[in-house]
Chain A
Amino acid sequence: MWRATFKALVANKLRLLLTALSVVLGVGFVAGTYVLTDTMNAAFEQLFDQTAGAADVVARSSTAFDASLTEGSGGGGSEERQPFPEAVLDDVAALPDVDVATGDVQGYAQMVDPRTDEVIGGVGPPTIGTNWSELADQILDIRVGSPPAGPDDVVVDAATASNVELSVGDRIRILFQGPPREFTVSGIAGFGEADNLAGATLAVFDLETAQEVLEKEGVYDLINVVGRDGVAASELRASVAAVLPDGMEAVTSTTVADEASDTLKEGLGFFQTALLVFALIALFVGSFIIFNTFSIIVAQRTRELALLRALGASRRQVIVSVVTEACVVGLIASVVGIVVGIGIAIGLQGLLGLFNIDLPSTSIQLLPRTIIVSLVLGALVTVAASILPARRAGTVAPIQALREAEDAPPTRALIGRRLAVAVLVTGVGVAAILYGLFGAESNEATLVGLGAAVTFIGVAMLSPLAARPVAGGLGAPLRRLSIQGRLGRENAMRSPKRTASTATALMIGLGLVSMVAILAASLKASFDAALTETLKADYTLSTSSFTTFSPDVGERVAALPEVGVASAFRQDGFRVGDASSFLTAVDPATVEDVATMEVSEGSVSELGEEDTVLVHRDVAEERGWSLGDEVPARFASSGDVPLTIVGIYDENRLVGDYVVSLDTYEVVFTEQLDAFVLVTGAEGVPLPEVADSIRAAVAEFPNVQVQDQAAFREQQAGFIDQLLALVTALLLMAIVIALFGIVNTLGLSIYERTRELGLLRAVGMSRRQVKRMIRWESVIIAVFGALVGIAIGVLFGWALQQALRNQGVTEFVLPVGQLVVYLVLAGLAGVLAAIWPARRAAKLDVLEAISYE
């Protein structure tokens, strides 16, 4: 029996190769994700150990919670910790255990490319300004030039230097929380081998200058301490901690390194999960192809299986033989997939390099976990997908070995029990999605994801019902066109089950892609609506990537005579009790001139009082708050600060759920950077004039854009389109696998139809006509899959929009043009998928095809 299994494997190698390809790609995606994130993890861990290694102990302010990852505007990249007075350093340095102690500051410092006048970095990784110190010398290698030695000097990281071609002696403008300043590059530094630290840009000044430009005069953010020889880090930590005032803590450098790597791991974990979701989608799509191939192979091998049965193989043995075949294919494909995954990881790493995230060279990390998960997943998916075909193989009766092979009778689409099962499965899937979107309190994403998978399976089971009529309808115009068109249509219709399961893979891909497209279109429309309904300003000042910028910008603009009101907005994360939330800080005096808030109870002006807050109506209702109640707010650097509710508003699309005054913000947050500034022109001044004067005033800040509503809207649309493109690109893998499925099924069908093709060729059908016939069949299958997929995508997209209505996705938009483009692309993909099968069909040896035995 094993020999038969093995022989079958070898004999079917070509079709199994194509099947395996879908597993290879899916597993490759999974393995690639793991390898990439593991490698990045290892690289950063090494880097953090190295950078933390200079000091033994670090003294800093305590935080109420770790705000570095999930919240924070990210401008300076430092954690939200209160600076502390310089005097603390003297106490620490005086300790007998302490050899060296340096007081250091960190903050937002964004460099401007002197050649292009564009800001450097800021998207993603932070732009850090800090000071040079005795200890910095051990972390930073000055590669060219010298350390900063005066108020005019700056040392920049080697990655930035090489990206914008800076050399020692160049002048460079740097943006801060306060006004920008010009410096001379005195040196270029790297971190050991690495050119930068996880993509962050670094500007290093001498201590005095750093304190001045970062607005940290007389204070430090942290103290780095090195102990005398023979003093253990824990001992040193304890003695440092003993002299620190309340609200400060001393930690060992190991703790700092661990914190940094934990933060990073959490970030990478998110990245990993996101990539894995797409990888699993690819595998899921692949499983339909495996199912399909094994179904066809079993059908083709009916006589062979019957012979085995006639020779005494048990039903069980036949089933086990098919499943074993699947398992072997799955395992081999997974091994290849792991290799492909390493390739994918290396490719993606290169891609990260393009985004200036320079990784220190670490060997590629192929952890045992990656291998195990990949192998198990690959084998499991293949085996699971082969179980139904294997059971069907088990039902082959020995007598079928003796019968003449017949043309498979047209299969009945669906009847009775199977229809009921299909409807049930679809229903369960849809119910899970709906519950996940609208009912569940936790695990919503998992519920929706699994629900979607089950729905796809259900629809796949149902779609044979639609395959005949839809394929027939799609092909109807072809009937009149030519005999090839008619035959292509008939072939697509002849086995609804096969057509449906072939199209299923594409259906899933297109379902997801169109859902994303619908969501993007709805987001854009909702954003437009929000802007139209909430924004009263003539101009918006913001950065192109929604990073924060210096409040100096808003102040300069507010002072212009052409400007009526310039109202700044800051945003950051905080906690209400234990729940993370965002708040917006506004200028109570001017906010209502530039934005609509619809305050229905209390008033904005009461925000002038200390520690007050406005709350959105939904939140107030949900929490049972009314005017005068206290919001239990906690801030990372300033701890618990209860805020009194002085107003309730109805419009939260611009400002979110909590609004405080800028004054309160300054008290509770350390870093003061604006998220955007809304500006109205002074009365009687023509708008173009207003714009010109604003632009002139902010010329020193190349990161700040001055946009009217239309331009702002367009920019937002641009962001959403970018995101759409990214997600679509990640789903492309699933679509590519789906195309392999069509190639595979067509190839197998052609093999089955050898005689028929031989006949057509014998009676005079040319090779070109044969190719055209196969192509039409492929196009009909692809378009059928795309149609069903888009239909599902529309429903999913609508459900998602409904679920996100309270998060601001108020509009539902059907991007008809885009969906039509997808449909056309699917048709073209069908043509592409037909290339190889069509060529094979055309090459068919007529004589051999029509000969007997």
Chain B
Amino acid sequence: MEATIPEPLPSSSAARASGLRKVYGEGDAAVEALRGIDIEFVRREFTAIMGPSGSGKSTLLHCLAGLDSPTTGSVWIGDVDLTTLNEKQLTALRRDKVGFVFQAYNLVPTLTAAENITLPLDIAGRGVDRTWYDQVVDTIGLRDRLGHRPSELSGGQQQRVAGARALVSRPEIVFADEPTGNLDSRSGAELLGFLREAVSTYDQTILMVTHDASAASYSDRVVFLADGRVVDEMRGPTVDGVLDRLKSLES
């Protein structure tokens, strides 16, 4: 099968943050979750964000995805500055330019797997690109389960359906928040293999938050966060390399 080539890109960056700060609460109760982050995620790359609990990795993901708004600083998806968008525009952006894979509750229980996959397109009222849809479905390997409802699928199958849903609208970038958190290692490996293939074979861009070193080892680049700052990064990560780096961060 031949890989489809994405449209010509205006810039090489899929998502970008600059001077990103996020403070929760006010006065004495204020907690600074992100303390000034400048980072860029280039297209066709699989990035993992790691860090200890409370390091701000989920907040970073939420801000990049337009689910949460920065206190100061800017965030771009492609060429769009999210801080200039209103709620409606943000919703449309999530629908058209962003894909999501959450840790759990990824699927609408009343819809079949196939309907869940095309959900963002249906919401947008857009037609489905059958070729791309077939490619995605074949990659997750669940063609025979498409008519089933989530409750009839295993956890791993559900997460792969979620992955397919995230990709079906050909988003600028896919955000995955601990996608393997609730899976056994075999299902987790299947899902990560699928994400890896989406980037390698189909030129997609993925940003994954994880605390699992073996999950991170599927990525091209690992960004380490601690106390709301980017403290390190690693290219071509291995499990051991990631674990070593994490250990040094915690000490």
Which A residues contact B (CB, under 8 angstroms)?
A: 407, 409-410, 482-483, 486-487, 490-491, 493-494, 755-756, 758-767, 769, 846-847, 850, 852
**B67 and A763 within 8 A (CB):** no
**Would A759 and B108 count as touching, CB distance under 8 A?**
yes
Whether the pair B67, A483 counts as a contact (CB closer than 8 A) is no
Instruction: Check B46 for interface membership: any CB of A closer than 8 A.
Output: no
Contact of A756 among B109, B120, B165 (CB under 8 A): B109
**B84 interfacial by beta-carbon distance below 8 Å:** no
User: Are B125 and A766 in contact, CB atoms less than 8 angstroms apart?
Assistant: no
User: Of all chain A residues, which has the CB nearest B68?
Assistant: A847
The answer to whether B119 and A763 have CB atoms under 8 Å apart is: yes
**Given A483-B122, A756-B108, A756-B109, 6 further pairs, Cβ under 8 A:** A409-B151, A763-B94, A764-B94, A765-B91, A847-B68, A850-B67
Q: Is the CB of A482 within 8 A of B109?
A: no
**21 examples of A-B residue contacts, CB within 8 angstroms:** A410-B151, A482-B125, A486-B122, A487-B108, A491-B110, A493-B110, A494-B109, A494-B110, A759-B107, A762-B94, A762-B100, A763-B94, A763-B100, A763-B119, A763-B123, A764-B98, A764-B120, A764-B123, A764-B124, A766-B91, A767-B87
Kindly state the separation between the CA atoms of A110 and B96 in the bound complex, as whole angstroms: 79
Decide if B91 touches A761 in the complex (CB within 8 Å).
Answer: yes
State in angstroms the CA–CA spacing of A493 and B92 once bound together. Answer: 29
Smallest distance from the beta carbon of B24 to chain A beta carbons, Å? Answer: 11
With a 10 A CB-CB cut-off, give which of A755, A759, A760, A761 has the most chain B CB atoms.
A759
Q: How far is the CA of A763 from the CA of B105 in the complex (A)?
A: 12
Q: Which residues of A contact B239 (CB under 8 A)?
A: none
Check A490 against B123 for contact (C-beta < 8 Å).
no
A852: chain B residues at CB < 8 Å are 103-104
List residues of chain B with CB within 8 A of the CB of A760. 108, 119, 123
Interface residue? B106 (CB, 8 A): yes
Residues of chain A within 8 A of B94, CB atoms compared = 762-764
**Is B62 engaged at the interface, CB distance under 8 Å to the other chain?**
yes
Name the A residues within 8 Å of B91 (CB-CB).
761, 764-767
CA distance A483 to B165 in the complex (A): 15
Contact A764 B106, beta carbon cutoff 8 Å: no
Residues of A within 8 A of B102 (CB): 759, 762, 850
B165 neighbours in A (Cβ, 8 Å): 763
Whether B110 and A490, one on each chain, are in contact in the complex, defined by CB atoms closer than 8 angstroms, is yes
| B111 contacts chain A at the CB level, 8 A cutoff | yes
A493 / chain B contacts, CB cutoff of 8 Å: 110
CB of B88 closer than 8 Å to a CB of A: yes
Lowest 10 CB-CB distances: which A-B pairs, in order? Answer: A764-B95, A490-B110, A483-B122, A755-B105, A764-B94, A766-B91, A765-B123, A763-B120, A847-B67, A764-B120
Q: B68-98 CB contact bits vs A (8 Å, 1 = yes)?
A: 1000000000000000000110011011101
- A850, B96: Cα distance in complex, Å: 19
| Nearest A-chain residue to B65, judged by Cβ | A762
Residue of B whose beta carbon sits closest to that of A409: B151
Quick one: which of B46-79 are within 8 Å of A by CB?
A: 62, 67-68
Residues of B within 8 A of A487 (CB): 108, 110-111
Q: Give A847 to B90 CA distance when docked, in angstroms.
A: 13
User: Provided the pairs A407-B109, A756-B108, A759-B108 are in contact, do residues A765 and B95 lie with their beta carbons within 8 angstroms?
Assistant: yes
Q: Residue among B87, B88, B95 with the most chain A CB within 10 A? A: B95
Chain A min CB distance to B85 (Å): 13
In the assembled complex, the Cα of A846 lies from the Cα of B100 at a distance in Å of 13
A759–B106 CB distance below 8 A: yes
| Chain B residue at minimal CB-CB distance from A491 | B110
CB distance from B63 to the nearest CB of A (A): 10
How far in angstroms is the closest Cβ of chain B from A85? 88
Nearest B residue to A407 by beta-carbon distance? B109
Bound CA span A514–B18, Å:
66
